[in-house]
Amino acid sequence: MSTEPATSSDRAALELVTLAKEIASCTLCDLSSTRTQTVPGEGSPTASVVFVGEAPGAREDRTGRPFAGASGRLLDDLLASIAMRRTDVYIVNTVKCRPPDNRNPRPAEIAACAPFLERQLRQIQPRVIATLGRFALSVFAPEAQLGEVHGRPFAQTLGPILHGATLFPLYHPAAALHNGSLRPTLERDMAALGAFMAMLPRDVAGEATLRQADSGSHGSGATRGGEAE
């Protein structure tokens, strides 16, 4: 009997599990020595949109799940505002291990982890990569200023890591929690992302809509103190 995965979606799911195992034993940077566990990311292996956050915080380090705290609750609300749930999308971070004391991830740590992110994106093949905050944006568009490019598709030609996806920069939910005046902007930007997703070519967006119907489920400043839960 063949043990080959039946569909490309099964294959992607399997590859993502394999990758998560690889991530769990990674020692490529010093974050591996202080983590409790890795946070590889989670969601639909065939998601049309991947959200890329910054780094796991204390709660993520404990649970192994991305956006497990207050930022995650806001992200859930923002997703609901465009009729999406976590199981419809994929959520990852620029680094898969918690930086000690919730400090910002360092460029060398982001660079060490980038091949994992790249391989995740290659498996999922999303139509849209929505970055959350300036660290995630810097992975794809190092020169871009979040304040200038948020809330719309980023049009410039970008490197191979995108695999044909459109970059859609957003503020980080933690930034909106720290600075309430950013929240309406983030809500508007999320609505713009929803509208953009709805305009994607029918075969792709239609497929995403079907998956949503079927699934039956369920920034930051100088420090990431808002995530220290």
Least distance (Å) from ligand URA to the CB of residue 57? Answer: 5
The rounded distance, in Å, linking the Cα atoms of 117 and 28 is 14
Least distance (Å) from ligand URA to the CB of residue 207? Answer: 27
Q: Which CB, 73 or 195, lies closer to ligand URA?
A: 73
Q: Which CB, 71 or 123, lies closer to ligand URA?
A: 71
Q: Which CB, 53 or 169, lies closer to ligand URA?
A: 53
The residue at minimum Cβ distance from ligand URA is: 53
CB atoms within 10 A of CB 11: 14
As a dihedral over the C-alpha atoms of residue 78, residue 113, residue 165, residue 18, rounded to 10 degrees, the angle is: -90
Q: Which CB, 80 or 195, lies closer to ligand URA?
A: 80
Give every strand in the sheet of 90-93, ordered side by side.
Answer: 42-43, 90-93, 49-53, 128-132, 166-170
Taking Cα atoms as reference points, which of 217, 227, 177, 229 lies closest to residue 84? Answer: 217
In the chain, the amino acid numbered 175 is A
Question: In this structure, what token pair is assigned to residue 16?
Answer: 């993502």
Q: How many helices (H) and strands (E) does the chain have?
A: 10, 5
Binding site for ligand URA (CB under 6 A): 53-57, 60, 66-67, 71, 93, 174, 227
Least distance (Å) from ligand URA to the CB of residue 210? Answer: 28
Least distance (Å) from ligand URA to the CB of residue 168? Answer: 16
Least distance (Å) from ligand URA to the CB of residue 12? Answer: 21
> What separation, in Å, do the N-terminal and C-terminal C-alpha atoms of the chain show?
48
Q: Which CB, 67 or 116, lies closer to ligand URA?
A: 67
Maximum pairwise Cα distance, the chain = 59
Least distance (Å) from ligand URA to the CB of residue 109? Answer: 13
Q: Which CB, 47 or 174, lies closer to ligand URA?
A: 174
